[in-house]
């Protein structure tokens, strides 16, 4: 069974993942985090974009380090209510329809994050899927395995009309999330957990753990550190673009989840497996030091070489379990936007927490990897300062 430290991290992560906070609906997360960091930071600010800055003043000054992790998660928004009371929805963030088909969702009627209603994404009855041969067949007819696209999906809230939906306080423009809370994966012996919204509440937890450790040890970083909980990352790094201009940092060390190898085989065709070629990170192997990522042509981050080299040195010096992510396709994160923040550029890298089954209802990660990420981040903000050489040549 998990030890007491893993249980403490589990409880903290459960608190974070219980908060809704779909992209552009981060208010409950920001309120909760603002309260949590009040005693851990020297100053706390929230900008008009919803970015939360927990500022820890350094001993030397003269240098600013920004550590972004995004507070939002993927989710859904109500587009339209049909006359028969069914809801039409759209994803906020990259959620393919097969990850929401047949799921139960929470519907939030205000920005308090409390008292959700529940709906289900309707499916074809399982009985109809089978051909006349039924259970004797190992392979289902391909024409019956098609997942509907968003224009065909609907959410059933048990209403018989649009008027009944309105009576429930449900309207277009409201947020929906997966109805999945944090659980141990298996018996927890490896520190693995599963939940919705691990992307990027794992990064938020790493920031909180770093701040707690600094405060508990009575240590100060050398530079002023802006632990930044960014909004709307899942909609295109929008909060990060604003936060970079707001802080004007000299160094950026982002923290986010990354896709991880899972299953078996090579992941070809319809297999749910994901190969290391597709996702070169592994659960339980420690914090990922990322050398490059790219979510689309022209959008991504090639980490600053000197900064990454220093992170590797620090990981070895402090005996922090770590792995090297050479290049992750399909994804990027806030540091990719912040690298442009300052005149002449901002040396930027990202620390990664490996995760399986991202953007779905059963995302999975290792609490030990989160702890390793926090340890390396703490070592970095204590070691780096205005004399750190991050010049290009």
Q: What CATH fold (topology level) applies to the domain 4-73+182-383?
A: Aminopeptidase (3.40.630)
Residue 3, pLDDT score:
84
Measured on CA atoms in the order 234, 82, 109, 153, is the torsion positive or negative?
negative
Query: Each residue of 91-144: pLDDT tens digit?
Result: 999 999 999 999 999 999 999 989 999 999 999 888 776 655 555 555 666 666
Fold of 75-178: Elongation Factor Tu (Ef-tu); domain 3 (2.40.30)
| pLDDT attached to residue 203 | 98
Return the pLDDT at 277.
85
- The whole-number average pLDDT for the span 363-390 is 96
Residue 365 has pLDDT above 90, yes or no: yes
pLDDT score for 297: 86
pLDDT of residue 271: 76
Q: Which residues are catalytic?
A: 233
Q: Output 61 or 148, whichever has higher pLDDT.
A: 148
Could you report the per-residue pLDDT of 247-272, keeping only the tens digit for each? 999 999 999 999 999 987 665 566 78
- What tens digit of pLDDT does each residue of 278-287 get? 888 999 999 9
Does residue 193 register a pLDDT over 60? Answer: yes
Question: What pLDDT sits at residue 279?
Answer: 87
- Alpha-carbon Rg for the chain, nearest whole angstrom, is 22
Residue ranges of domains in the chain: 4-73+182-383, 75-178
Q: What span, in angstroms and rounded, lies between the C-alpha atoms of 14 and 16?
A: 5
Q: Which of 49-53, 260-264, 378-382 has the lowest mean pLDDT?
A: 260-264
Number of C-beta neighbours around residue 196 at 10 A:
25
pTM above 0.85, yes or no: yes
CA distance 44 to 52: 7
**Each residue's pLDDT tens digit, 326-344:** 999 899 999 999 999 999 9
**Distance, C-alpha 149 to centroid of its chain:** 24
CA distances (Å), 259 to each of 213, 356, 382, in order? Answer: 27, 6, 28
The C-alpha atoms of residue 78 and residue 89 are separated, in whole angstroms, by 4
% of the chain exceeding 70 in pLDDT: 94
What is the torsion angle, in degrees rounded to the nearest 10, for the CA atoms of residue 335, residue 301, residue 370 and residue 201? 50
Per-residue model confidence as pLDDT tens digits over 60-94 = 888 999 999 999 999 999 999 999 999 999 999 99
Q: Please name every residue paired with 65 in a beta bridge, in sequence order, or none if there are none.
A: 225, 251
pLDDT at 182: 98
pLDDT of residue 165: 97
Q: Helices 367-383 & 305-317, crossing angle to 10 degrees? A: 110
Report the distance separating Cα 358 and Cα 367, nearest Å: 16
């Amino acid at each position: 069974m998990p030890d007491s430290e893993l249980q403490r991290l589990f409880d903290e992560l459960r608190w974070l993942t219980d908060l809704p906070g779909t992209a552009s609906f981060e208010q409950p997360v920001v309120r909760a985090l603002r309260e949590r960091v009040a005693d851990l930071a020297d100053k706390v600010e929230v900008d008009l974009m919803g970015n939360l800055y927990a500022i820890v003043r350094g001993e030397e000054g003269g240098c600013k380090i920004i550590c972004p992790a995004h507070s939002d998660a993927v989710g859904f928004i109500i587009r339209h209510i049909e006359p028969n009371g069914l809801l039409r929805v759209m994803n906020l963030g990259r959620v393919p329809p097969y990850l929401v088909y047949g799921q139960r969702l929470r519907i939030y009627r205000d920005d308090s994050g409390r008292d959700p209603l529940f709906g289900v994404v309707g499916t074809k009855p399982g009985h109809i899927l089978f051909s006349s041969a039924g259970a004797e067949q190992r392979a289902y007819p391909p024409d019956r395995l098609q997942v509907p696209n968003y224009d065909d999906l609907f959410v059933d809230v048990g209403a018989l009309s649009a008027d009944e939906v309105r009576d429930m306080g449900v309207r277009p423009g409201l947020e929906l999330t997966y109805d999945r809370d944090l659980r141990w994966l298996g018996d927890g012996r490896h520190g693995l957990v599963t939940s919705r919204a691990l992307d990027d509440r794992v990064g938020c937890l790493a920031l909180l753990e770093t701040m707690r450790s600094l405060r508990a040890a009575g240590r100060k970083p050398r530079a002023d550190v802006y632990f930044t909980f960014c909004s709307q990352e899942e909609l295109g790094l929008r909060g990060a673009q604003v936060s970079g201009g707001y802080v004007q940092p000299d160094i950026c060390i982002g923290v986010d989840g990354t896709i991880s190898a899972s299953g078996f085989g090579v992941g070809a065709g319809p297999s749910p497996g994901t190969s290391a070629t597709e996702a070169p990170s592994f659960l339980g192997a420690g914090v990922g030091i990322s050398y490059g990522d790219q979510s689309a042509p022209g959008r991504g981050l090639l980490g600053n070489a000197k900064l990454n080299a220093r992170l590797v040195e620090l990981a070895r010096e402090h005996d922090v379990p770590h792995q090297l992510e050479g290049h992750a396709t399909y994804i990027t994160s806030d540091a990719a936007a912040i690298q442009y923040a300052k005149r002449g550029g901002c040396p930027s890298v990202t620390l990664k927490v490996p995760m399986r089954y991202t953007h779905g209802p059963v995302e999975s990660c290792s609490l030990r990897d989160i702890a390793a990420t926090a340890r390396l981040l703490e070592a970095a903000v204590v070691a780096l300062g205005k004399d750190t050489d991050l010049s290009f040549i």
